[in-house]
Structure 1
Amino acid sequence: MKSEVMRISHELQAQNEKIRENTEKIKVNKNLPYLVSNVIELLDVDPQDTEEDGAVVDLDAQRKGKCAVIKTSTRQTYFLPVIGLVDAEKLKPGDLVGVNKDSYLILETLPAEYDARVKAMEVDERPTEQYSDIGGLDKQIQELIEAVVLPMTHKEKFVNLGIQPPKGVLLYGPPGTGKTLLARACAAQTKSTFLKLAGPQLVQMFIGDGAKLVRDAFALAKEKAPAIIFIDELDAIGTKRFDSEKAGDREVQRTMLELLNQLDLPTIEECSNKWRLHKKNLKTN
């Protein structure tokens, strides 16, 4: 009996020592700074067939569970047979993670990263405008309620009736006629985050930069849902297609195509002259 107690005591001491060593290793590995990486793919790996006695065994090949492929901020791609300290079930392709700069083990998930210009588009204070603040636009207010507000506040009724709400609304008219005020009133009634984009801001010098701004804006809106995106001066990027050898014109058309591809959130667009717009913008709205 005494020998059994001593054996258990010795095993407990050894386990505590191992726990202490592992805790120290984790503490060392979690020292900042992390290397920022993106999860490219998660793989289910089955262990290989049992090796013959005396053969060299690859421990990584015998592991069960998920493995990961990551791409670091230094543009290097790594396969991780052991993911690290983050549960594999909490990861998905595209996630931003912090990894150890030596072992590349995933130590922590990082919040989604958005372009600073997109973050500046979010209105800090939620709109407080009321429909009673707008005069002479009763018909337009009713149309906006039916097209934007009701699909957001009574979504289940639209689903039950099989009604597909519009993807967006186009407000057109001369400056100063209340287009922005109408959009802010809709956001106030639905208690939504209000993102205001300006068409000229989406026209960038570098190829693909404008399209990236559009993608980041819609990704931020999805994270802040419910959200309404208001695109001012849409005619700056949504013009009719035309043949041009100028790189600037082609970049504007790339941005417009990305905008059409992203139109899956309640979007209110504004322009002065709708006849200049691409027909797909009119069809979408």
Structure 2
Amino acid sequence: MLLHRMLQHAPTNGFEVCVCKTAEAAIDRLGDHQYDGLIINLDHEDQDPFEVLLRIRNLDPRLAILGITDRSDESFGLRMVECGAQDVIAKEMLNGQLLYRAMRYGIARQRQISCLKTAAHTDALTGLGNRRALDQALDQAVADFAVDRQPFGFLILDVDNFKQFNDQHGHRAGDYVLSQLGSLLRTAVTGNDLCSRYGGEEFAILIPATSTAKAVAKMKDLLQRIAEHFVEFEGTQYRVTSSAGLTISRPNDTVGSIIERADIALYRAKSDGRNRGDLNLPSSAAVPLSCETIAGGNQK
């Protein structure tokens, strides 16, 4: 309650404050509501402050956390920061103005960190995840599959004849087409699917907890959406097609083996005439999936 009164009587009060008597109560509330900041008393005898901070940080990575303590040793404060606190303040120094300023600056810093993290994992042209985001997601998917055995799909999409498109229409038109395809894919994928720009004119989609049939249906749907989509740039309409390679995770897979199978499937799809998909399962024959109802070729 003392902290609550301090914030209420701060020179510039811009906070709505919720008070929880225990760390567990605060954690429960964080699970149901979104907050900008948290002030936590680190001196409760019935809790491990390091464990509590790690739980809170894992629960909400965007939250600014300010710890207060009677302890004066610097090593304690440094460890709290390593566990996720923005700052640690000695109780003997507390007053409303200091508390308000520390929380305000902590929120601003945490928002900046979140923006930087988002930018580091976002492709600037399409707004999708970048290769770094995809690599991390694949690593996690392989690790999760080793535990829960729920198969996931991995799909690589490649825009057909994109070099020729750039040569004919220019790189500005090509970049615009890629950005619009990024928007199309972002709205077309559903649930927990992760869509990323794989590099150049290639896109990758991670499909968690799926069956082969569902992943194949998703691939066909995406190929058709792309082929039927017109992009208008500077008064001219363009249409592109794409080819796709799909694989499904299996026991003992690695990130490398999954990417390799999808690449092989993509190569076969392009070799078979483009504007189609191919499924490559480990230890099985190829399963070509022609999308014959989709018109091929680039149209101006």
Relative to the length of structure 1, the TM-score reads 0.26
Which structure has the greater CA radius of gyration?
1
Q: Between Structure 1 and Structure 2, which shows a larger proportion of helix residues?
A: 2
